[in-house]
Amino acid sequence: MNKQEALEHCITSTNVKGPGEPYRGKVRDVYSLKGGMLGIVVSDRISAFDHIMKQAIPFKGQILNQLSAFGFSKVEDIMPTHVVEVPHPNVMISKKCEPIPIEVVVRGYLTGHAWRVYKSGKRELCGVTLPGGMKEHDKFPEPILTPATKAKEGHDEDISEQEILDRKIVAPKRWEEIREKAFKLFKRGTEISARQGLILVDTKYEMGLHDGELTLIDEVHTSDSSRYFYLEGYEKRQKKGEPQKQLSKEFLREWLMDKGFQGKEGQTLPDLPDSFRWSIYQRYAELFETLTGEKFKPVIVKNIDKELEEIFQQYL
């Protein structure tokens, strides 16, 4: 594979005639199709601290889309998913759902945002009391649920389960169902990861309603929605106080923080050098192969709009 060609042919945006303007998220372009269907195109854009980086990552969209398809296929018995078919490495056709405006975050370990809150001296996160005497990357006695509001712009914000109910964002009975499904999904993700020598550290789920039925949407147990540690050596590293070997976007956040960027006002978004972009691709490919046990086969896409027009034809 030609590395330079791959770096030059990243999918940063799409513009397909027929379905009309897509909704553009941080990573996905979502087209409304007939029959209550959506054409979800997973681009090679990458975001951190709620900012889309100026440079894209080769094949990231293909890895994410195929990881999502793999993840959804493993949880279909727990709850319905929005997947209809995956007709292209970058595309998922899905059922249109009414999204629930809450990110359902489940954490098994004191890592990332939870650790930053803990390190600041706080012992409560989203209404959950955190045990004393913990250190970074320690396992919680039981997984915890730390929801966040889905912001249309800017940062998602932590919210407690009680606030969700008090503000009537979700009805109590529905929230109970969401809560139960989230812990079941996390348990399944943990089991699948362990079989592949990984620890599912934390993850976020997004859910919606399809014909009134709670449905899993967006992505599940991917490298963008989840954080993974290597199982081998985890205990030893914890005892020695060494950093954990992880597969997640945290390394990108750490790289940005080293460059003085945390998404705060007045900070300048740094450029991603080509060598770093390629190393991010390699990390994503490693996670795909470790998690699925399959080899990742990249496909260089030179004209995504033309390929999308052909795929969407039957749905217009």
User: Is residue 281 within 8 Å of residue 57, measured between CB atoms?
Assistant: yes
Question: What's the predicted TM-score (pTM) here?
Answer: 0.90
Tokens describing residue 172: 């109590």
What count of other Cβ atoms lies within 10 Å of the Cβ of residue 170?
20
Sole residue written with tokens 């951190």: 48
Tokens 């405006």 sit on residue: 101
pLDDT score, position 151: 67
Report, as an integer, the average pLDDT of 110-129. Answer: 96
The H or E element containing residue 290 is helix 274-292
Reduce the DSSP state of residue 83 to 3 states and report it. strand
CA 187 to CA 100: how far, in whole Å? 22
pLDDT tens string 20-37: 899 999 999 999 999 999
- What lies within 8 Å, CB to CB, of 285 at 6+ separation is 59, 63, 296, 298
Q: Are 2 and 273 in contact (CB under 8 A)?
A: no
Residue-wise pLDDT tens digits, 220-271: 999 889 999 999 999 999 999 999 998 877 789 889 999 999 999 999 999 9
Q: Give residue 248's pLDDT.
A: 75
The pLDDT tens digits of the residues spanning 173-186 come to 999 999 999 999 99
Span 269-290, mean pLDDT?
94
Q: What is the DSSP letter of 13?
A: -
Q: How far is CA 264 from CA 20, 77, 255, in A?
A: 34, 41, 15
- The confidence score (pLDDT) of residue 316 equals 83
Residue 154's pLDDT is: 56
Average pLDDT over residues 140-167: 89
What is the reported pLDDT for 50? 86
CA distances from 71 to 33, 94, 205, 258, 292 (A): 24, 15, 12, 32, 9
Q: Which domains does the chain have, with CATH numbers?
A: 3-98+271-315 (3.30.200.20), 99-247 (3.30.470.20)
Instruction: State the chain's mean pLDDT as an integer.
Output: 94
pLDDT tens sequence across 54-99: 999 999 999 999 999 999 999 999 999 999 999 999 999 999 999 9
